[in-house]
Amino acid sequence: MQWRRRHCCTRIAKLGFFLPLLALLISLLHHVWQNITAGNLGLSKVEGLHADKSIENTIISIWTSVKGKENITSHGKQNISSTQSGTALEQSKSAKANQSEGEDIHDAMIHGLFPYIINEPDKCRESQAAPFLVFIITTEALQVEARDAIRQTWANETLIQDVGVVRLFLLGKHEGEVGTHQQRMLQEESQKYNDIIQQDFLDSYKNLTLKTLMGLQWVARYCSQASYVMKTDSDMFVNTENLIQELLRPELKPKRNYFTGKLISNDSPIRDKKSKFYVSKEEYTKESYPTFCSGTGYVLSGDLALKIYTTSLSMRQLHLEDVHVALCLAKLGLKPIKPPSVFLFNHWRVPLKRCKYNHLITSHGFQPEEIIQYWGIQQSNKKKCRTIFWGN
């Protein structure tokens, strides 16, 4: 905010705005120093978070709080089913209602909305250079074959030489005897591939937004220097070479506040309670959503991971994750950017004809064996089709 008063009135107004913030920052630094000297920073050493990162994130959180963020969420442990009223995020709020807003946003920013069951905090530190692209891929425990197919094909971290790529699968948890068995299998898979992150919330369609927020929070906390992030699903085909070499282009300076994908405009909330896309007027009062990118596959600049996640902490969670992210963007004063061609990002299954898969970025609705099949065809057609990209 810019104050345009003159002389002494200007100085008084400025002091009235900055003194509370300065006091908060001094209090914060004093608190961190006390913790350091006491040998207890309040963070898990296993997770590998450095003190300077804690300070940075906490200052960001306090700054957003001073600017008037409302309805701050808390870090809580709450499992709910997709049929229960309210979201896991809302349940988390009520579980820690006795905490102050400052504590809540600090906790949620540092640790995430829910505790990690499986984490890979050092994945981005294993290479000297910051990753160019981080894939965050929503999946479920039983989709083992899909994850294996993706590892072999479009999310192979060594696919493109001299370009750092990080692959992460995002999961919640299941309960009961089946959930216990699945958890053992996931732990073994995690030890083998080191590409799974999981938090302690129920894995359901209603909690898909929590999965995406988990991925964004992970990038903001553990991989903040990544140039770009792509959120997508485990039934997708992604032409990674087009995505990196033609759209994002590592030789250029990374964009900021960049968000693109399959744009969907003038979409209205579905008020039919029988639909899985049902949204009540209480949840969303307007008659249309802001322009959003289909959750099947969208790309954002690395700086937006923190901005979107932090903004989401002050908002009611909508279970339609692509719409929820668009609402966060709107609150930030940002809009998705139109991709160079409408044919690049597809939220449907694109027919396998000629060189189409050498010119697109995403296609939707694949079984694991089809991902491998289509990948083989696309790779074998590279020389013949020679990717011609639309736009710069």
Displacement of CA 209 from its chain's centroid (Å): 9
Give the whole-angstrom CA distance, residue 90 versus residue 102.
17
Beta strands 292-301 and 259-264 are antiparallel
Query: CA distances (Å), 212 to each of 151, 181, 272, 281, 314, in order?
Result: 20, 24, 25, 24, 16
Beta bridge partners of 168: 136
Crossing angle of the two packed helices 101-111 and 51-66, in degrees rounded to 10 = 140
3-state SS class at 379: helix
In this structure, the number of other CB atoms found within 10 A of the CB of residue 300 comes to 27
DSSP single-letter state for residue 33: H
> What are the pLDDT digits (tens) for 230-263?
999 999 999 999 999 999 999 999 999 999 999 9
DSSP H or E stretch at residue 46: none
Angle in degrees, CA 196, 200, 206, rounded to 5: 95
- DSSP SS3 for 55: helix
Instruction: List the structure tokens of 317.
Output: 């969670």
Lookup: tokens for 131: 């990753």
The tokens describing 56, both together, are 């940075």
The CATH topology of domain 116-340 is Spore Coat Polysaccharide Biosynthesis Protein SpsA; Chain A (3.90.550)
CA–CA distance, 125 with 131 (Å, rounded to integer): 9
The domain limits of the chain are 116-340
pLDDT of residue 125: 85
Q: What is the pTM of this model?
A: 0.76
The sign of the torsion formed by the CA atoms of 381, 384, 387, 388 equals negative
Interval 313-358: pLDDT, tens: 999 999 999 999 999 999 999 999 999 999 999 999 999 988 999 9
Q: Is residue 306 within 8 Å of residue 191, measured between CB atoms? A: no
Tens of each residue's pLDDT in the chain, 392 residues: 444 333 444 443 444 444 545 554 555 554 444 443 333 333 332 232 333 344 344 434 434 443 443 333 323 333 333 333 344 554 444 434 434 445 565 666 666 789 999 999 999 987 768 999 999 999 999 999 999 999 999 999 999 989 999 999 999 999 999 899 999 999 999 999 999 999 999 999 999 999 999 999 999 999 999 999 999 999 999 999 999 999 999 999 999 999 999 999 999 999 999 999 999 999 999 999 999 999 999 999 999 999 999 999 999 999 999 999 999 999 999 999 999 999 999 999 999 988 999 999 999 999 999 999 999 999 999 988 975 554 43
